[in-house]
Amino acid sequence: MTNDTILTNQGIAPEGKGRVLLIACGALAREILAIKAANGLDHLDLQCLPAILHNHPEKIVPAVRQAVAKHRDAYETVFVVYADCGTGGLLQTACAEMGIGMVAGPHCYSFFEGNDVFADHDEITAFYLTDFLVRQFDAFVWEPLGLARHPELRDMYFGNYEKLVYQAQTDDPDLTVKAEACAAKLGLGFERRFTGYGDLTPALTAIT
């Protein structure tokens, strides 16, 4: 999905009263589309920014601002489907300045599990993967960290972690097997938690 792809029920982004544009992290596309379909949220259109911004949080705010400026005149409402995601509060400040809402929470790991539940865990030695990151583990974790070329760096990056927590949005046995393999590759213990879509569902169904 490219920056300029907007998914609507008609295939064309319509102008008019009641339309809402979701500007979202590309890593959340499957989940957002599933929530839309399950809840009949036909008034929500989706534009995804590149998922690789997950690894470059300093680029998130400029990308969101650019997308809002480009599309907001065609929509009654714009909503940002990112949490803070490493921006140090800058995304929340930018959204407040632009007068638009966003998903609450420090990051997707938190809102998938539920922000209140996640905060209670206080797991500073856990490394988290979602469905998306399990599928894209090599492209988003192993290769960007240089571990494909220098696996000896693994202990430097992950020596202080104790376990990999796979937050499963879907019940997919193949993804669970792959997540376990990711944990073994990192030399970590493994825990699977079925979170579903967590706080993302009420955040999207509340948009009018």
Helix spans in 72-107 (H): 90-98
Listed in order, the ranges of the chain carrying CATH 3.40.50 are 6-103
Tens of pLDDT along the chain (208 residues) come to 444 555 444 333 445 557 999 999 999 999 999 999 999 999 999 999 999 998 999 999 999 999 999 999 999 999 999 999 999 999 999 999 999 999 999 999 999 999 999 999 889 999 999 999 999 999 999 999 999 999 999 999 999 999 999 999 999 999 999 999 999 999 999 999 999 999 999 999 999 7
User: For residues 26 and 98, what is the distance between their CA atoms, to the nearest angstrom?
Assistant: 21
Q: Are 148 and 191 in contact (CB under 8 A)?
A: no
Q: Are 164 and 129 in contact (CB under 8 A)?
A: yes
The class (CATH top level) of 6-103 is alpha beta
> pTM surpassing 0.85?
yes
